[in-house]
C-alpha cells in the first residue's frame, strides 16, 4: 500500500520533495502536482509519472490524492491548508504555516473544529540526527538543567529581494521552532539587536542581527542570523546546562589535517546540510499516515512560531523588547 501524494508548488523545495517522495521514501507515490509555472509543474510531474492539475484546489480535491504537500510561497499556505482541512486530507505544509498569526489562528480553529490533527508543519530540524542528540541530552538530564543556548544561522548570500524582516520570518523561524522544541517551553519575549552591518550585504539590509529569545521558564537563547556570511551555510546550536554543554555537529564536515593545518568542509547551502533531514521528515510523515496517525510539528507549533517571528519583526522595527501573546492552547495540541 502507498500513500498517493499531491504536491502544490514545484519550486526549490517542492521539486526536492517530489523527487524524494517518488524515489526514496518507502510507501509513497506522487500522483498529482500543481504550480502557477505550468511548464515547471509539467516537467517535474512528468519525471515521476504524476499528472499536472490546473489549480491547487484540483490537486486537493482529486479523489485519487490521499495527502498533500504544500510547498508554495508562504502567503498562500493558509488558504491551501484550509482547503485541505475542508477536504479532510492530511497535509505536510512547508514553513511558515501562515505569514500572520491571524491566518494561523484560522487554521487552528478549522483543525480543532474538524476534531483531529491533519497538519504537520515542515520544521524539519526536529528530524535531524544532530538536533536529536541535543534534544536527548536535555531530556535525559545529561547536561543537568538546560539554562541557555547559543544558536547561529548563516547563509553564504541572499538575493537583493531578501529583507531584514525576512531574516526573522524565513530564517530565524527555524531557530524559534528549535528553541520551543528543545526546551519544551513557549518563548515569551523577543529582542532584536542590530550590529555593525556587513559592507558586503545589500544597503537596505540589516545584516547580521542578534535575536534574544526569552523562555517562559526564564532561560534565554541568543541567535546570530547572518545571511551574507560569504563562506557557506553554517547552522550551530550549543545548549548550556548546569552540569555540561551539548553542541550540534555538522554531519559530513570531516576534517583534513596536514601541513600544520586543519581544514573542515562547510555545506554550501541548506539543501546540502539538511538533505538527509528532509528525507527523514518525509519518511516519518508517510509512515505515520500508513499507520493512521499525524504527528510531528503541529498547527499549534506553526502558530506559535509565526507569533514569535511577528514579535521579532516588531522588535526589529522598534528596537525594544516585544512580548509574545499566545491564545490558550486547545486540547487537540496538548
| Residue 190 per-residue DSSP state | E
> In this chain, which stretch among 28-36, 103-111, 141-149, 186-194 interacts with ligand NAP, using CB under 6 A?
28-36
Question: Are the C-beta atoms of 107 and 78 separated by less than 8 Å?
Answer: yes
Distance CA 252, CA 60 (A): 38
> Beta partners for 128?
none
Taking the complex as a whole, the smallest distance from the CB of residue 127 to ligand NAP amounts, in Å, to: 11
Could you say which of 33, 71, 176, 308 contacts ligand NAP (CB under 6 A)? 71
Contact between 124 and ligand NAP per CB under 6 A: yes
Nearer to ligand NAP, 37 or 139 (CB): 37
Nearer to ligand NAP, 66 or 94 (CB): 94
> In this chain, which stretch among 65-73, 217-225, 240-248, 254-262 interacts with ligand NAP, using CB under 6 A?
65-73
Could you say which of 23, 37, 139, 319 contacts ligand NAP (CB under 6 A)? 37
Nearer to ligand NAP, 122 or 219 (CB): 122
Nearest to 214 by CA among 185, 235, 239: 185
Contact between 219 and ligand NAP per CB under 6 A: no
Contact between 11 and ligand NAP per CB under 6 A: yes
Q: Give me 300's grid cell.
A: 499549534
Question: Are the C-beta atoms of 225 and 194 separated by less than 8 Å?
Answer: no
Distance CA 92, CA 4 (A): 13
Could you say which of 21, 34, 171, 228 contacts ligand NAP (CB under 6 A)? 34
Q: CA 261: distance to chain centroid?
A: 36
Distance CA 33, CA 60 (A): 10
Could you say which of 3, 50, 56, 149 contacts ligand NAP (CB under 6 A)? 56
Distance CA 137, CA 148 (A): 14
Distance CA 89, CA 86 (A): 8
Taking the complex as a whole, the smallest distance from the CB of residue 140 to ligand NAP amounts, in Å, to: 27
What phi and psi values does residue 221 have, to the nearest 5 degrees?
Answer: -125, 130
Contact between 74 and ligand NAP per CB under 6 A: yes
> In this chain, which stretch among 10-18, 136-144, 177-185, 190-198 interacts with ligand NAP, using CB under 6 A?
10-18
Contact between 285 and ligand NAP per CB under 6 A: no
Distance CA 156, CA 115 (A): 43
Q: CA 295: distance to chain centroid?
A: 15
Which residues in 222-281 contact ligand NAP (CB under 6 A)?
Answer: 270
Nearer to ligand NAP, 94 or 103 (CB): 94
End-to-end CA distance of the chain: 31
99-114: b (≥16 Cβ within 10 Å) or e: bebebbbbbbebbbee
Taking the complex as a whole, the smallest distance from the CB of residue 281 to ligand NAP amounts, in Å, to: 8
Q: Which residues bind ligand NAP (CB under 6 A)?
A: 8-14, 34-37, 40, 56, 71-74, 76, 94-95, 122, 124, 170, 270
Amino acid at each position: 500500500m502507498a500513500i498517493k501524494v499531491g504536491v502544490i508548488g514545484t519550486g526549490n523545495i517542492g521539486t526536492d520533495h517530489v523527487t524524494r517522495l517518488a524515489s526514496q521514501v518507502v510507501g509513497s507515490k506522487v500522483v498529482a502536482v500543481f504550480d502557477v509555472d505550468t511548464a515547471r509543474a509539467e516537467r517535474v510531474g512528468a519525471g515521476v509519472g504524476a499528472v499536472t492539475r490546473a489549480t491547487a484546489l484540483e490537486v486537493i480535491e482529486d479523489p485519487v490524492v490521499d495527502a498533500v504537500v504544500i510547498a508554495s510561497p508562504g502567503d498562500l499556505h493558509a488558504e491551501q491548508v484550509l482547503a485541505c482541512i475542508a477536504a479532510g486530507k492530511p497535509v505536510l505544509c512547508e514553513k511558515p504555516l501562515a505569514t500572520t498569526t491571524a491566518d494561523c489562528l484560522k487554521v487552528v480553529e478549522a483543525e480543532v473544529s474538524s476534531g483531529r490533527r491533519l497538519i504537520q508543519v515542515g520544521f524539519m530540524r526536529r528530524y535531524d540526527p544532530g538536533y536529536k542528540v541535543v534534544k536527548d541530552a536535555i531530556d535525559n538530564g545529561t547536561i543537568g538543567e538546560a539554562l541557555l543556548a547559543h544558536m547561529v544561522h548563516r547563509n553564504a548570500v541572499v538575493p537583493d529581494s531578501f529583507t531584514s524582516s525576512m531574516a526573522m520570518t524565513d530564517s530565524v523561524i527555524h531557530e524559534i521552532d528549535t528553541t520551543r522544541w528543545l526546551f519544551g517551553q513557549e518563548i515569551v519575549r523577543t529582542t532584536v539587536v542590530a550590529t555593525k552591518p556587513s559592507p558586503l550585504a545589500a544597503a537596505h539590509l540589516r545584516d547580521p542581527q542578534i535575536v534574544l529569545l526569552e523562555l517562559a521558564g526564564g532561560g534565554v537563547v541568543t541567535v546570530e542570523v547572518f545571511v551574507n556570511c560569504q563562506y557557506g551555510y553554517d547552522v550551530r546550536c550549543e545548549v548550556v546546562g548546569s552540569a555540561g554543554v551539548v553542541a550540534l555537529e555538522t554531519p559530513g564536515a570531516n576534517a583534513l589535517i596536514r601541513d600544520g593545518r586543519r581544514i573542515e568542509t562547510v555545506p554550501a547551502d541548506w539543501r546540502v546540510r539538511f538533505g538527509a533531514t528532509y528525507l527523514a521528515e518525509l519518511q516519518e510523515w508517510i509512515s505515520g499516515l500508513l499507520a493512521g496517525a499525524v504527528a510531528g510539528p503541529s498547527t499549534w507549533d506553526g502558530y506559535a512560531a509565526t507569533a514569535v517571528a511577528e514579535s521579532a519583526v516588531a522588535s526589529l522595527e522598534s528596537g525594544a523588547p516585544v512580548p509574545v501573546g499566545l491564545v490558550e492552547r486547545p486540547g487537540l495540541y496538548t
